[in-house]
Structure 1
Amino acid sequence: MTPWRTGWIAIWLWGWALAAQAAIFQTQLDNGMTILVKADHRAPVVAHMVWYRVGANYELNGITGISHVLEHMMFKGTEKLAPGEFSRRVARLGGQENAFTSRDYTAYFQTVGKQHLAQVMALEAERMRHLKLAEDQFQKERNVVLEERRWRVEDNPEARLFELFRAQAFVNSPMRHPVIGWRTDIEALTLADLADWYKRWYAPNNAILVVVGDVQADEVVALAKQYYGAFKAETIRPPKPQKEQRQQGERRLTLKAAVEVPTVVMGFHVPSLLTAENEKEAWALELAAAVLAGDASSRLARQLVRGRKVAAMADAGYNATALWDPLFTLSARPAQGQSVETLEQALWAEVEKLKREPVSQAELARVLAQAEAQQVYSRDSVMGQAMVMGMLASVGLPPDLADRWAEKLRQITPADIQAVAQKYFTRENLTVGVLLPNGEKPHKVPRAMMGGHVR
């Protein structure tokens, strides 16, 4: 670790220590709306977020992408606000605002001076139950989403690979659908579809209000009662579970496109904290991802990129907080002069090593230190803290789990990591996607943002 990095980590740790002194206050309004408040008095600002328990994993065939389209429409006017007026008012307050749709939730947020909390709460409450869905605005915004899909996915070969890879890996789970939706489904959406989706999910008893900043819990609760408390609870019908059937053999796909460098992605079906029979498996998988690709000193970077020089880049990914069983993924691009076959063999060799040899105590200690530092980085700002709290609460995990994340990881042993690798990293549970050049000249397109959409 270099001296400058050590110094910055010390500063971040000090900042998080100050932020972590305040406990999370949690309560519920009479209409079922969950309220989470965390005081952070380091600056006179406040982050205000409303999370809805709905996203791509709630969608069925034929309406994929509807959560994301509705997110766009939430900025297009209410009974009291003209299209775009919401954003203009937040800007006049000197604030920032945005929204995003993910697989498991949709969230709307603002950061403003603490004196403006009531104003943004009033604005957000207005569109919770009084959204005005107009046909002309819908047609326009659907075209915007289709164009977004074109440049994010259809004109980006690597994004297309990951989209097709997920559809190959999952058969009956909603995890196979892209968050932005399939083009044909988006084109077939109607205003009535959106109205039904809005009415079904955008209710106080399906929402979580998160406020972090220079506030007191009692004042936030009073404002929440004033602006959200009058809304009636709705009957929320939870989505029917669509558990992915067990994979019984290796799956492969090859995509040829106008690229200069190939890409290889490998994925294994694994449990999350919410789906694992024993949560230790999820924590062990979290550490396995860090061992393979947590930082520049991790195995893939050290062995494949700098050591054997078979990869130009290599990464690993795992989402421990997924609502449904996720994938544990490995992805890489071959170094110049290296074949995709050699690269895939090298990736598999690292998987086999994880299964064959327990991680050393020294390597585990390094990975734990890095994981703790990353948790600190993600939670330093008021918005970062609000994001973590809302994300956890939206999927049914304790909102303060982030405070115990490192403690949970420290309970995992090298044997635990080896056990999950042996159990899940098998050929029968493997899906492989390969992107190959087709000989055409690549087109320059904006870099695709995988995962949730941010307006």
Structure 2
Amino acid sequence: MHRLRGFSLLFALFIPPVLAPMALAQTTAPVPKTDVFKLKNGFTVVVQADKRAPTAVHMVMVRVGSMDEVDGNTGIAHILEHMLFKGSRTLKAGEFSRRVAALGGRENAYTMRDATGYFQQIPANRLEDVMKLEADRFANNQWPDDEFKRELEVVKEERRMRTDDEPRSLLWEALNATIYQASPYRRPVIGWMGDLDSMTPNDARDFYKHWYVPANAVVLVVGDVDPFKVKQLAEKYYGRIPARAVPGRKPRDEPPQVGMRRLEVKAPAEQAYVALAFKVPQFTSLESTPDNNDTLALTVLSFVLDGYPGARLDRALTQGPDRLADSVGAGNGFSGRGPQLFTLEGVPAQGKTTEQLEAALRAEITKIARDGVSEAELNRVKTQWIASEVYKLDSIMNQARELGSYWIEGLPLDTSERIIEKLRRVTSDDVKAVAAKYFGDDQLTVGVLRPQPVDPNRKPRAAPAGLRH
């Protein structure tokens, strides 16, 4: 997805407004103890014991994603993720998944701009089995050329289904390519179709050899486990993989934007759509710097606008007989290995234009820059954010993915708890200040979807066989 609502790394689960705000604001969940080990070959191993159920999540995240690709080879990180399921020196294609299923587990993988992740959720007493399997394919992935060619066709069909046939996905793909000039975030994770057409098996093999090295990956285990036993298993299976140096990365910093950018995409669609993307700072550390402080205030601003049912955008633009929009949204990217955006978006109501909605979205920001937000609004947002931290702990998958994301971005593993304390200190004046600072024309790129007639006889594209996620 092109954006996440609110704080992207906290996996916020918004709570019903009927819950007592001040009671929840004082709620503190028991924070699970996190153990971190470093293997001699460079692997980082993170273990978080959670004894509430006899299950465990085992995850490997590699600090490589689409941002590590080069022009002409886009989509290689994603196709390689698919190929990790296609065999090793000891396993045939598909055997990995069959074995995990036989253990009573479920598994999948994902590719992002910043990282690639592989995970299994299994009965805790089968942890050793999946650690052995995952370490094997990390170190010994191999497959014949024909297997790659077949999987490449699956990925192409995935691109057709999820991007080419989805008007808003097409818009965001074009929008990212317009927003960014130097940053590798300008390229789509799934890759440009022309690059997929010319991709070879050895392109994927070379990318694998280049980036899948122990010091570029983290092993995460969360659940009903003994940290000391996990360390022993990690040393047994991951520790035997030969160490290699992590390849160097050159900075590809985005130059300052010097004027508003606009684009339009025409595609068969039922409704128009408008997206506004403003360049904003990213959270880089727990150090109190102007940029880091602003990222917190910007996230609070996004929640004020769109953090709960009946928030400002919803109340102002989608309600009443003369409403401007069928739907609206706001989000702040917050953190990542690359530059971040604050986004506003919406679908105009019947009889309304994208230009009217664009102006109205910006007007809500201007209103906050002029008048600020009330203490009641501010407290409500903080309460919901803090409560989300309590509920987040119910999912061991969320715990593992959050810890992995912090490692990928070079943030402390206890970032979540420490950010809560910083959040408590965000004031109405802070929110007012960022609303005035970051929403001018020079930081803005606008994308508009112009709907074209939809073929009534067109049938939805079927998901390709072998599509994993």
User: TM-score normalised by the shorter chain: which range applies?
Assistant: over 0.9
| Contact 2:76 2:191 survives alignment (8 Å) | yes
Q: State the alpha-carbon separation in 2 of the partners of residues 92 and 140 from structure 1.
A: 25
Q: Quote the Cα distance in structure 2 between the aligned partners of 1:439 and 1:202.
A: 46
Q: Count residues in correspondence.
A: 447
Tell me the residue number matched to 1:289: 302
Structure 2 alignment gaps of length 5 or more: 1-13
Residue 17, structure 1, aligned to residue 29, structure 2 = yes
Please list the CA deviations of residues 132-186 of structure 1 after superposition, one character each: whole Å capped at 9, or x if unmatched. Answer: 1320111001110000000100011111011111111111111111111111112
Instruction: Give 1 or 2: higher helix fraction.
Output: 1
Assess, with a 3 A threshold, how the Cα gap between structure 1 residues 211 and 446 changes in structure 2: closer, same or farther. farther
1:187 aligns with 2:201: no
Moved more, 48-57 or 22-31: 22-31
Which residue, out of 438, 442, 451, partners 2:452?
Answer: 438
The separation in 2 between residues aligned to 1:445 and 1:394, in whole angstroms, is 37
After the TM superposition, list the runs of 4 or more consecutive aligned residues in structure 1 that deviate by more than 6 angstroms.
1-4
Determine whether 1:385 maps to 2:395: no
Among 75, 78, 91, which residue is 1:65 paired with?
75
1:113 maps to what in 2? 123
* Structure 1: gaps spanning 5 or more residues: none
More deviation in 333-342 or 73-82? 333-342
Closer, same or farther: CA 440–352 of 1 in aligned 2, 3 Å: same
CA pair 3-136 structure 1, distance change in 2 beyond 3 A:
closer
- Quote how far apart the aligned CAs of 1:403 are: 2.2
Report the CA distance between 1:454 and its aligned residue.
6.2
Q: Quote the Cα distance in structure 1 between the aligned partners of 2:178 and 2:276.
A: 11
The two structures have a TM-score, normalised by structure 1, of 0.93
- The answer for the alignment partner of 2:9 in structure 1 is none
My pick for the range that moved more, 392-401 or 377-386, is 377-386
- Pairwise CA distance, 1:288: 1.3
How far, CA to CA, are the matches of 1:34 and 1:255 in structure 2? Answer: 44
- In structure 1, the partner of 2:260 is 250
Shift of 1:373: 2.6
- Is structure 2 residue 313 aligned with structure 1 residue 300? yes
Tell whether the 8 Å contact from 1:266 to 1:331 is kept in structure 2 after alignment. yes
Tell me by how many angstroms 1:405 deviates. 3.0
Instruction: After TM superposition, give the deviation of residue 3 of structure 1 in Å.
Output: 7.8
How far off is 1:441 after superposition? 3.7
Q: Distance in 2 between matches of 1:97 and 1:320?
A: 28
1:215 is paired with a residue whose SS is coil
Aligned residue identity for 1:210:
L
Q: Is the 8 A contact 1:156 1:447 kept in 2?
A: no
On the 8 A contact 1:211/1:386 being kept in 2, the answer is: yes
TM-score of the pair, normalised by structure 2: 0.90
1:336 aligns with 350
For the aligned residue pairs, the C-alpha RMSD in angstroms reads 2.4
How far apart are residue 71 of structure 1 and its match?
Answer: 0.1
Aligned to 1:346: 360
- Deviations 1:318-347, CA, capped at 9 Å, x for gaps: 221211111111110011221212111111
Spell out, residue by residue over 1:42-90, the C-alpha distance to the aligned partner (whole angstroms, 9 max, x if none): 0111110001000011111111111000000000000000100000000
* Corresponding position of 1:206: 216
Q: Contact between 1:175 and 1:326, CA under 8 Å: does it hold in 2?
A: no
Cα distance, 1:365 vs structure 2: 0.4
Q: Among residues 269, 276, 289, which one is paired with 1:266 in the alignment?
A: 276
Paired residue type of 1:368? K
Which secondary structure state, in structure 1, belongs to the residue aligned with residue 309 of structure 2? coil
C-alpha distance in 1 between matches for 2:291 and 2:259: 25
Aligned to 1:412: 426
Equivalent residue number for residue 45 of structure 1: 55
Cα 1:412–1:205 change in 2 (3 A) is same
Distance 2:175 2:40 in 1: 44
SS in 1 for 2:110: strand
Name 1:173's counterpart in structure 2. Answer: 183
Instruction: Give 3-state SS (helix, strand or coil) of 1:306's partner.
Output: coil
SS in 1 for 2:382: helix
Matches within 5 A, 1:228-243: 228-243=238-253
Deviates more, 1:75-84 or 1:238-247: 238-247
